[in-house]
Amino acid sequence: MDQYEDEARERWGDTDAYAQSHSRTSKYTHEDFAAAKVDQEAATELFVYAFGNSLPANSDKAQAAVVAHREAISKWFYDCSVEMQKNLALMYVQDPRFKKYYDGRVNGLAQYVHDAIMAQ
């Protein structure tokens, strides 16, 4: 985990979002992290449902997933604006680790999550 912490600090350490996330998560218990994961997984499952049912990225269900995704980040880590979320969406298709997370659920999901976030 230290590798990821070092990378995050190097990439975003001078941003308000990083400071806010670090401030929040430094106080979290294992139970808090588990609850954050539940919220994140719930948002991902909304994307899986929309994608699996071949709903357009701009459909109401896909856009509900986009909102749940942004709200989970804002609740647990940092205030996630639409612009910030769109930057994350780029990472989801460009960074192999994020792409693997989503495509490991359903092949093609990373691109769908990206497209849904960009469609808002």
CA 45, CA 27: separation in Å to the nearest integer? 27
**Is 69 within a domain?**
yes
Whether residue 69 contacts residue 98, with contact meaning beta carbons closer than 8 Å, is answered with no
List phi, psi (to 5°) of 8: -65, -45
For residue range 9-39, list pLDDT tens digits in order: 666 656 777 778 888 888 999 999 999 999 9
Q: Range of 40's domain?
A: 35-118
CATH of the domain at 47: 1.10.490.50
**Is 14 within a domain?**
no
Domain total for the chain? Answer: 1
**Is 103 within a domain?**
yes
- Residue 66 DSSP symbol: H
**Is 11 within a domain?**
no
**Is 25 within a domain?**
no
**Is 110 within a domain?**
yes
For residue range 54-84, list pLDDT tens digits in order: 999 999 999 999 999 999 999 999 999 999 9
Task: Write down the pTM of the prediction.
Answer: 0.86
